[in-house]
Amino acid sequence: MLADLVSDGEVVVLSGAGLSTESGIPDYRGETGRRRRADPMTYQRFTGSEAARRRYWARSHLGWRHIARAEPNAGHRAVADLQRRGLVAGIITQNVDGLHQAAGARDVVELHGALDRVVCLGCGERTSRERLDRRLREANPDWDATAEVINPDGDAVLDDDRIEAFRVVDCERCGGLLKPDVIFFGENVPPARVRDCYALTDRAGALVVLGSSLTVLSGYRFVRHAAAQGIPVVIVNQGATRGDGHALVTLDAPLGRTLADLLAALDAPATTATAARTA
């Protein structure tokens, strides 16, 4: 069924953290998330507390190294391959790791932003995370820390004394507060970005959800919208999701293997493809 829908083309992919766990990036709600307790930063805490910003940047400075080293996995490569074949018409990702693009995907809508960019809350200037990383290293030449646990979005668990010793830097242009160019909990996705995602969904031949529990409304709304428009919804995820009741097909399976099998089914000779398309 999945291969049949994808082979018709005009597929829009909606991806979540479960697609990146095979690249070593944990999630909040999937299998890796259930093994860990996490306290994600909120926009209100970040903007309202100098101590909260120090905590965030100290932990993220260390965790960023883990995210920056991550490589696309078979799932990311399969999505990029499907796009090159003309079968995927759009990609919406809830992830902030840039792994879709690293795998070769184009025109990815980053619903929640990207960790490799930094934005000033004062003047709005955007700069690269690599530049900020260099500045933070220069500002903290004697700072060292290790973390046994890396939470989602590159948030490394650190001792309080290491956090207190960390020095934060501000915008080089205006001295304003720097924030990763991602949507924090409690922050709204820009309306124009949401409209673009709705427009992609409206044009979809099928909406294929990859690795998202759809717990957060920002992604779930597109599943609900597609179903209301009569657009087939397929969900591939390890574990139940909030959108299962709207789906034509649900697969509880590892993403990398399932998407590799999908490519194999699409490449299979016509005499064997019918059997393979139960994937």
Mean pLDDT of the chain: 91
Q: d(Cα 95, Cα 103) in Å, to the nearest integer?
A: 14
Tens of pLDDT, residue by residue over 141-192, are 999 887 667 765 778 888 889 999 999 999 999 999 999 999 998 899 999 9
Counted domains in the chain: 1
The answer to whether 197 is annotated as binding is no
Give the residue from 178, 186, 248, 254 showing the smallest Cα distance to 217.
186
- Please identify which of the residues 61, 112, 225, 246 carries the catalytic annotation: 112
Q: What is the CATH number of the domain that holds 144?
A: 3.40.50.1220
pLDDT of 259 higher than 90: yes
CB contact set of 236 (below 8 Å; sequence gap of 6+): 2, 208, 209, 210, 211, 250, 251, 253, 255, 258, 259
Tell me how far apart the alpha carbons of residues 218 and 232 are, in angstroms, rounded to a whole number: 19
Residue 263: which pLDDT band, with cuts at 50, 70 and 90? very high
Is 95 labelled as part of a ligand binding site?
A: yes
**Confidence band (pLDDT; 50, 70, 90) for 273?**
very low
In this structure, the number of other CB atoms found within 10 A of the CB of residue 115 comes to 22
Separation of alpha carbons 185 and 202, rounded Å: 27
Upper half-sphere CA count for residue 259 (Cβ side, 13 Å): 27
| 266 is annotated as contributing to ligand binding | no
pTM confidence score: 0.90
Tell whether residue 218 is among the known ligand binding residues: no
Closest CA to 20 of 107, 86, 61, 79: 79
Point out which residues pair with 180 in neighbouring strands.
118
Domain that holds residue 270: 2-276
Is 100 part of the annotated catalytic residue set?
no
Q: What is the pLDDT of residues 103-127, one digit of tens each?
A: 999 999 999 999 999 999 999 999 9
Determine if residue 97 is labeled as part of a ligand binding site.
yes
Contact 226, 233 (CB under 8 A): yes
Check if the beta carbon of residue 40 is closer than 8 Å to that of residue 151: yes
Whether the per-residue pLDDT at 29 is higher than 70: the answer is no
